[in-house]
Structure 1
Amino acid sequence: MIRRRGPEEGGYYLKKLQDEEDSQSNNGEVPEMTERLFKVIIIGDPTVGKTSFVQRYVQDSFRRDYKGTVGVDFALKILKWSDSETIKLQLWDIAGQERFTWMTRVYYKDAQGCIIMFDLTNRNSFLNTLKWKKDVDSKCTLEDGSPIPCMLLANKCDLPHRQVDQLEIEKLYKDHSFTGWTETSAKEGLMVTDSMRFLVDVMMKQKDDRDEDSNQSSLRLTPADPEKPHGCYC
């Protein structure tokens, strides 16, 4: 389960991720496939498990021999979202070392979603998630100027001797407008696919909202009061 904000209640609740299938037959005709492209950045301190997370999600594999990312690594994941939609995810695994942070503005460019990860057995990596969130918010926004959706992932939940408890994570999530959070284990594959599907669902809904606003604006024949931009779907 993923902790997320519930707009209709103004509170918080747990949402189970459910697979959605398009049951429309289009009178027996094969529907035309549409393709959407999203760029997602994965950031956080060194050794929190970013590369392992990407490998587990894309290749369903885990490597015990760790090699630190130099600059940025790239991966592509193709999802069949429905009978008529395919999604291509560009995953940018960005190095967490201090010497690469000056390049983050270049790496963040055109991102539509973000994963900020920390290690449950490393308290400093948790405290530094706020630094990463502020960095993203200051350098990357959606077309309407709102922050890109950021998931907070607490990795290595399979290990004992954790240094961060759930109440602290919950407070950080609420206070700093993360889209959602969950514990993960790249090693065991726990909540890896679910957390990414959750983020994709958020990005899809935001994109549909922006497209709808754009279509409505193009149909106006008389001046109207400007609409308020859509906030972050959370």
Structure 2
Amino acid sequence: MDKKLSVEEIIRNFEAEKAKNLDTVPETKKEETNEGKTAIIQRYTKNTFSTKYQVTIGTEFSLKELRWDLSTILKVHFWDIAGQERTGAVTRQFYKSSHGIILVCDASRSKTYSGLVKWIGNLKQYVLQFDGTPVPIFLLINKCDLPSPSVNVKSLNSLCLDYELDAWYMTSAKIDVNIGEAMFHVIKRALKVKRDADRYASLYTITEENILLHDERTHLPSGRHSRSKRCCDFK
């Protein structure tokens, strides 16, 4: 089995792919933010796009209501988490009860891939299903509409395989590429996680209606009584 790619190898692969195209996009000196998390959420929830989004500080919240099937209307809650390392301890409390995770990178800036492995490790430690397994994680490579995207398909496939991500998609919030398709699969997996958790909770939640209390005394054939501990039976 092939070994997992290191962060340096992932970046090197993406840089090599980007170098193949002479029309490269110059790197900016701004803080490595603006991957497009907020733009993706706004595109999906409101079908809008703006070039004036501010850097997310802490956590922002969005909601989309949609009809999933003939008998189901969903209210999907999106927690837009800041990607900066300094906010990690603050934002962790918001995402640890999530049913699905979306990680976003900028297709035009390979440096935005550098935190992926650390984020994945953090999420797999803190965001767990009822059985202790990690929740589904999806990777969106945003801004595919820009020239010279630094995308290495082989590296992305290896990353998803090695770190057990559900899938990755090339997206553009600006011109609405693959946003709906990606969100459909994210919500489908998250809905299964929630329904499995609800089913598990209903089986093991103790209520007055599903408990029978036995008498403390156990009747013996001789007519004598023996003291025993009170116990419970689940219906």
1:54-89 C-alpha deviation (Å, 9 max, x unpaired): 110111010012311111111001111112111111
Q: How far does residue 205 in structure 1 lie from its aligned partner after superposition?
A: 2.7
Show the 5 A alignment for 1:39-58. Answer: 46-58=33-45
Given residue 149 of structure 1, which amino acid in structure 2 is its aligned partner? P
Instruction: Mark the runs of 5 or more structure 1 residues left unpaired by the alignment.
Output: 1-44, 220-234
**Does the residue aligned with 2:74 lie in a helix, a strand or coil?**
strand
| TM-score, with length taken from structure 1 | 0.69
Q: Which residue of 2 aligns with 1:206?
A: 193
- Over the matched positions of the two proteins, sequence identity in percent amounts to 34
Mark the structure with the bigger radius of gyration: 2
Change (3 A) 1:183 1:65: same
Question: What count of residue pairs does the alignment treat as equivalent?
Answer: 175
Aligned equivalents of 1:187, 1:115: Cα separation in 2: 18
| TM-score, with length taken from structure 2 | 0.69
Q: Which residue of 1 aligns with 2:221?
A: none
Aligned equivalents of 1:165, 1:147: Cα separation in 2: 26
Q: Does 1:144 align with 2:136?
A: no
Aligned equivalents of 2:203, 2:79: Cα separation in 1: 33
Aligned equivalents of 1:85, 1:163: Cα separation in 2: 40
Q: Which residue of 2 aligns with 1:179?
A: 166
What is the Cα-based RMSD across aligned positions, in Å? 2.0
Does the 8 Å CA contact 2:127/2:135 hold for their aligned counterparts? yes
Given residue 95 of structure 1, which amino acid in structure 2 is its aligned partner? A
Q: Does 1:70 align with 2:57?
A: yes
Given residue 75 of structure 1, which amino acid in structure 2 is its aligned partner? S
**Does the residue aligned with 2:120 lie in a helix, a strand or coil?**
helix
Does the 8 Å CA contact 2:144/2:170 hold for their aligned counterparts? yes
Higher helix share: 2
**Does the residue aligned with 1:81 lie in a helix, a strand or coil?**
strand
Does the 8 Å CA contact 1:126/1:164 hold for their aligned counterparts? no
**Does the residue aligned with 2:69 lie in a helix, a strand or coil?**
coil
